[in-house]
Chains A and B, each alone.
Chain A
Amino acid sequence: MTAEALFSLAPLLILFPLLGLVVNIIAGRRLGERGVGIVASAAVGLAFVIAILQFIALRMDPSGATIHIADWIVIGQLEVEWALQIDTLSVTMMLMVTGVGGLIHIYAVGYMHDDVRFQGDPSRFPRFFVYFNLFIAAMLLLVTGDSYLTMFVGWEGVGLCSYLLISFWYEKGEDGIGNALAGKKAFVVNRIGDFGFIIAMLITFWFFGTLTFEEVFNEAEAMGAGAVGAATAITLFLLVGAAGKSAQIPLFVWLPDAMAGPTPVSALIHAATMVTAGIYMLVRNAALLEIATVTPDIIAIIGAATALLAASIAVARFDIKRVLAYSTISQLGFMIAAVGIGAYVAAIFHLVAHAFFKALLFLSAGSVIQGVEHGHHRADSHEEHFNPNDMRVMGGLRTRMKATFWVYLIGALALVGIPPLAGFFSKDEILADALLVSPAVYWVLVGSAFLTAFYMGRQILMVFFGKPRSKAAEAAEESPAVMVAPLVVLAILSVGGGLINSPGLLPLTHFLEDTLEGLREPEFVAAVAAISTLLAVLAIVLAWLVYGRRPMAHDPVRRLGSLWTAIRHRWWVDGFYDWLIVSRYISLSHWLAEVADEQFLHDWVHDTVIARSFVRATNWLASVLDLRLIDRGFDGLGALTRRGAGGLGALQTGYVRNYAVAVFIGMVLVVSYLLLS
């Protein structure tokens, strides 16, 4: 088969998941859980096959291809098509999305089987996979769209799926509405980011005259210095979009709440794929970032600051998934910082490696949660508000859930960056580059890495070591094979993932060179690697000293005093936004509705000023002029409608008649004036 023929298969990438969801919408009930699971997983599996074929095609023809499907919006100069861009960057992403996505689909078949029963609505099982397939389709459109606008379709599409899946158990959560509110918060905060994306597109179109990536980049290159201002403005607004989707300062607040979704959702959407879209989008725009002046620095600062802030918050979480959520924000910060310092390949490398080990960690956490939940049901304990996510009720799970423990440990070590696991190489590449470009960014990231090792050590110790701290933990049990098998595959990837861009050979760098021009080859700096490894080990030892030896009645880190209070309260960011924006907007909208609109415009301007003076004026007119003829005419009309419609005479309140009189007089006056003059 020629490369061309293989490229032309690309639309199937999106078609298969769409087909899967249509089948499950129509026949989901009849297929049963197994059938639904097979259809959904097979759809993603087939997409994975297509992604591999695209990879093979790129080996034959590294320049890639653009596959046109149809016109979309064509108005004058604005020409946007449904077209897929196949190049090494998009293929890297699609392999990751379909590969990791497929594994998570399989896992979810097992997970959701129990979840729908714990939550008390088994009929909701098919719906989950409909959303899951829709997500894969949207994500693939996001990474393959050949223009800003088609990318934006995927961009908001994944946001929609995120919304639907966060609020999947929409009647649960705090006060029964917590999950729904979390979903809404995610969507609205993301829309703030999308606002930036939209403005970036508007500037792009009016400056470059097109929204197609390739044309924009060529144009920008040709313009040289003339494009600096536009490139800076565009990339700044794109950064707003990236901050929304990839949960960076100041828009990161939605991601921790997003943990309300079932755990496979957290793994797929809120760790491995969707949240990395911001990084992908910025890397896609590397050509503009290279020209722009201020933006790269701001990106680096935001990324590094987010990495540190989120890592510090993770230290004080007790919810197993929230620790991982803040960890994700922190790791996304690493990637964003990498983009800022121009280490695009390192960003993508860490993105892929992170997808492996963070998906692994979330899915293992899901296994832990369900294990504890099972234990809770078996122990038949009647604690009212039992929260299976709370690490304080766990402990000692190492012996009860052996497989889960080992894969969790592998994931954690990969995240911490212990050689030779995946995270070691990918994180190290970012750090080495940072040291070259900006020592400040380097030290902030190293500090974040230290905290990462500490909070992961804390988590492992709290969950798996020591003695069980509840009946549920005592009775916890291992998850079924359908869930453990994907974990093992992800564990293998987390161990060997570093090979993707192993120092010396640099396969990913060479692969991406075909898409991103002018990449510098990353160097392996032994000193950097040694320092980070040493610090990671130190942090784990510290965690052991703090958490390893005593039961967990109170978190010992409390002793930090006000610093503990700050991180426990997530640096008050959520509260600050509530105070600054949310509560103000709510009172503004109520003031506008009740005072400005209802009392002023409606009651006063209309009912008092306009209506009353009108009635007075027409009454006066009618009494002065006493137009019998007109009166009779309108009375007759009234009688007619009364007869015709039966009882419509109630409408004759005087307003309309008076009004008609006025209109009639006015018309007569005007027409006679015009005709006579």
Chain B
Amino acid sequence: MDAWILTLVTFFPIVGVIVLLFLPKERETAMRWTALLTAVITFVLSLIMLAGFESSDPDLQMVVRLTWFSIGDLHIEYFLGVDGLSILLVLLTTFLMVLALLSTWTAIVDRVREFMIFFLLLEVGLVGVFLGMDLFLFYVFWEFTLVPMYFLIGVWGGERRMYAAIKFFLYTMAGSILMLLAIIWLGLDGGTFSIPDLIKAQAIPANLQFWLFLAFAAAFAIKVPMWPFHSWLPDAHVEAPTAASVILAGVLLKMGTYGFLRFNLGIFPQASVRLAPWIALFAVIGILYGAAVAYAQKDVKKLVAYASISHLGFVMLGLFALNLQGLQGGILQMINHGLSTGALFLIVGMLYERRRTREMDAFGGLWKVMPIYAGLTLIVTLSSMGLPGLNGFVGEFTILLGSFGSIAIGSEGFAILAAVGVILAAVYMLYMFQKLFLGPLDNEKNKRLPDLNRRELLTLVPIVILIFWIGLYPRPFFGLTEASVEKVVQLVSSAAMAMR
């Protein structure tokens, strides 16, 4: 079982795709159930993976490694493995997929079959990105995710969906080209595409690391997105259908931060140390810029999109603190952001389904008609702005702590400025909450809005449970990542020693 579980987690959604292809056209409910069940089974499979995971082992586990094809001496492998850096992201993906599919039940009525197929294919790509341990294989998965997301936005999106889809596609692919060049160089130079082997070898001289770091960073920074490469994100979010937004913000952006963590820190540790202050600078600008711009938005989805830029700035700041607290916080914050922003997009989607608008001015006083919805939104809002006791705070605080004392970043100023972002988060999140839920209920169209139905509750409640769980008792989550993170920290600090 051990040897095949990762393959199953990655490719099981294909089974759903095949079933969907053979379902008769008019059986849309069956299609929905097929997709949902597939996602549920994939989630269960990922839990089985979790059960077999040995958290004290910092290395790759449940490895499957076969030669796929060879070019001369160079082997390209089918190489999957999971460790502390990726396991939470895999679980986040399979978890959010289920909830995102639940949210499509009444929202997606056009071309249900195609939607479900693209959605399940997207899951294959995402899980593959996190599990693929051969650079070539990783790249295939990486680019593969673009295709279904492109169609999800371009076909089921809003009015300017074509523009947003193409922009999304081009932007992220443009970054990938440089990464591809660097991957090819690495393979030819090191004689292997195996990521753990490349990390172990540490054979790249410092000045070369610098350029390769930048080539990888080009792909990842656009994906995160880091300021100022974020221009595609608000467009993509505003046009994407709810479920795609959930996955886009919840998981797809984490491909970028994960990439930095796995490749830049692992293969180019010296360049990471050298560039840490610069990354921290851009991260902090992103935190403050995203927060300020979010406050000026009129469309809820756009507000949440800019808030994402701010939150991911925190993740980047934590990762490049290059110490235990910063990295642990950064990884946890990826999950936290996936949960809270995923939930926010679900929440916005529920409103959009009822009113066909996301303009905040169209609302106000909704608490009166939709108290359950308001209560759950409040919890998610507070999680997103980092209220202690909820998940966001644990991540944010450890990130601030790590970056404040980070030797690599070298100045407390970054952490202090990032902490200003905590104030600004309260400003825009409470502004959003007020515009939607507080004030008089004076718009006639809002007076009879129904509160959440059972299916909608089912999509939000699991996230809320995790929000409390991580906020109050994050130990199991930190425990999963700790060993692998310690290994990264050791790697980076010995690289830093070597530089002196």
Residues of A within 8 A of B (CB): 70-76, 78, 82, 121, 149, 152-153, 155-157, 160, 163, 167, 170-171, 176-177, 180-181, 184, 187-188, 191-192, 194-195, 198-199, 201-203, 205-206, 585-586, 588-590, 592-594, 597, 601-602, 605-606, 611, 614, 641, 644-646, 648, 650-651, 653, 655-656, 659, 663, 666-667, 670-671, 674-675
CA distance A206 to B416 in the complex (A): 14
Assess whether A188 is in contact with B423, with CB atoms less than 8 Å apart: yes
Instruction: Name the contact of B295 in the complex, choosing from A72, A181, A589, A611 (C-beta under 8 A).
Output: A589
Assess whether A594 is in contact with B296, with CB atoms less than 8 Å apart: yes
Assess whether B422 is in contact with A194, with CB atoms less than 8 Å apart: yes
Assess whether A670 is in contact with B181, with CB atoms less than 8 Å apart: yes
Total contacting residues, chain B, CB less than 8 A: 71
| B496 within 8 A of partner (CB) | no
Measured CB to CB, the closest approach of chain A to B203, in angstroms, equals 18
**The 8 residue pairs across chains A and B that have the minimum distance between CB atoms:** A593-B296, A180-B438, A176-B440, A170-B438, A76-B324, A153-B388, A202-B404, A589-B292
Instruction: Name the contact of B426 in the complex, choosing from A121, A188, A667 (C-beta under 8 A).
Output: A188
Most buried by A among B162, B170, B382: B170
| B427 within 8 A of partner (CB) | yes
Assess whether A180 is in contact with B439, with CB atoms less than 8 Å apart: yes
Assess whether B475 is in contact with A71, with CB atoms less than 8 Å apart: yes
Measured CB to CB, the closest approach of chain B to A255, in angstroms, equals 17
Binds A, one of B241-249, B394-402, B446-454: B394-402
Using Cβ atoms and an 8 Å threshold, which residues of chain B touch A602?
231, 235
Instruction: Name the contact of B293 in the complex, choosing from A184, A203, A589, A644 (C-beta under 8 A).
Output: A589
| Sample of 5 A–B contacts (CB below 8 Å) | A157-B388, A170-B438, A171-B368, A203-B404, A589-B293
CA distance A597 to B305 in the complex (A): 13
CA distance A76 to B489 in the complex (A): 12
Question: Given contacts A645-B155, A670-B184, is CB(A75)–CB(B423) below 8 Å?
Answer: no
Assess whether A171 is in contact with B441, with CB atoms less than 8 Å apart: yes
Instruction: Name the contact of A206 in the complex, choosing from B184, B404, B478 (C-beta under 8 A).
Output: B404
Measured CB to CB, the closest approach of chain A to B169, in angstroms, equals 7
Tell me the B114-131 residues at the A interface (CB within 8 Å).
114
Instruction: Name the contact of A198 in the complex, choosing from B289, B292, B397, B427 (C-beta under 8 A).
Output: B397
CA distance A592 to B285 in the complex (A): 12
Assess whether A659 is in contact with B170, with CB atoms less than 8 Å apart: yes
Per-residue A-contact encoding for B229-244, CB less than 8 Å = 1, 0 else: 0011001000000000
Assess whether B439 is in contact with A176, with CB atoms less than 8 Å apart: yes
Closest to B167 in A: A606
Assess whether B438 is in contact with A171, with CB atoms less than 8 Å apart: yes
Assess whether A206 is in contact with B405, with CB atoms less than 8 Å apart: yes
Residues of B within 8 A of A (CB): 111, 114, 150-151, 154-155, 162, 165-167, 169-170, 173, 177, 180-181, 184-185, 188, 228, 231-232, 235, 289, 292-293, 295-297, 324-325, 328-329, 365, 367-368, 382, 387-389, 394, 397-398, 400-401, 404-405, 412, 415-416, 419-420, 422-423, 426-427, 430-431, 434, 437-442, 472-475, 478, 482
Measured CB to CB, the closest approach of chain A to B70, in angstroms, equals 14
Assess whether A589 is in contact with B382, with CB atoms less than 8 Å apart: no
Using Cβ atoms and an 8 Å threshold, which residues of chain A touch B150?
651
Assess whether A74 is in contact with B296, with CB atoms less than 8 Å apart: no
Instruction: Name the contact of B438 in the complex, choosing from A167, A195, A597, A655 (C-beta under 8 A).
Output: A167
Assess whether A671 is in contact with B184, with CB atoms less than 8 Å apart: yes
Measured CB to CB, the closest approach of chain B to A640, in angstroms, equals 12
With A78-B401, A663-B173 already in contact, 13 other A-B pairs whose C-beta atoms are closer than 8 Å: A71-B475, A73-B397, A73-B474, A188-B423, A188-B426, A191-B422, A202-B415, A589-B293, A594-B296, A614-B170, A645-B114, A656-B169, A659-B170
Closest to A141 in B: B389
Closest to B415 in A: A202
Assess whether B437 is in contact with A170, with CB atoms less than 8 Å apart: yes
Instruction: Name the contact of B114 in the complex, choosing from A76, A184, A585, A646 (C-beta under 8 A).
Output: A646
Assess whether B166 is in contact with A75, with CB atoms less than 8 Å apart: no
Question: Given contacts A171-B368, A670-B181, is CB(A202)–CB(B401) below 8 Å?
Answer: yes
CA distance A670 to B179 in the complex (A): 12
CA distance A195 to B425 in the complex (A): 12
Most buried by B among A192, A589, A650: A589
Most buried by B among A184, A593, A605, A611: A593
Instruction: Name the contact of A667 in the complex, choosing from B180, B329, B394, B438 (C-beta under 8 A).
Output: B180
CA distance A21 to B252 in the complex (A): 38
CA distance A71 to B474 in the complex (A): 9
Assess whether B419 is in contact with A198, with CB atoms less than 8 Å apart: yes
Using Cβ atoms and an 8 Å threshold, which residues of chain A touch B419?
195, 198-199, 202
Using Cβ atoms and an 8 Å threshold, which residues of chain A touch B165?
651
CA distance A95 to B406 in the complex (A): 42
Measured CB to CB, the closest approach of chain A to B52, in angstroms, equals 24
Assess whether B388 is in contact with A653, with CB atoms less than 8 Å apart: no
Closest to A591 in B: B296
Assess whether B324 is in contact with A75, with CB atoms less than 8 Å apart: yes
Measured CB to CB, the closest approach of chain B to A78, in angstroms, equals 6
Assess whether B442 is in contact with A597, with CB atoms less than 8 Å apart: no
Question: Given contacts A180-B438, A602-B231, is CB(A648)–CB(B151) below 8 Å?
Answer: yes
Question: Given contacts A74-B475, A171-B440, A674-B188, is CB(A655)–CB(B170) below 8 Å?
Answer: yes
Question: Given contacts A171-B368, A653-B166, is CB(A160)–CB(B296) below 8 Å?
Answer: no
Measured CB to CB, the closest approach of chain A to B113, in angstroms, equals 9
Using Cβ atoms and an 8 Å threshold, which residues of chain B touch A646?
111, 114
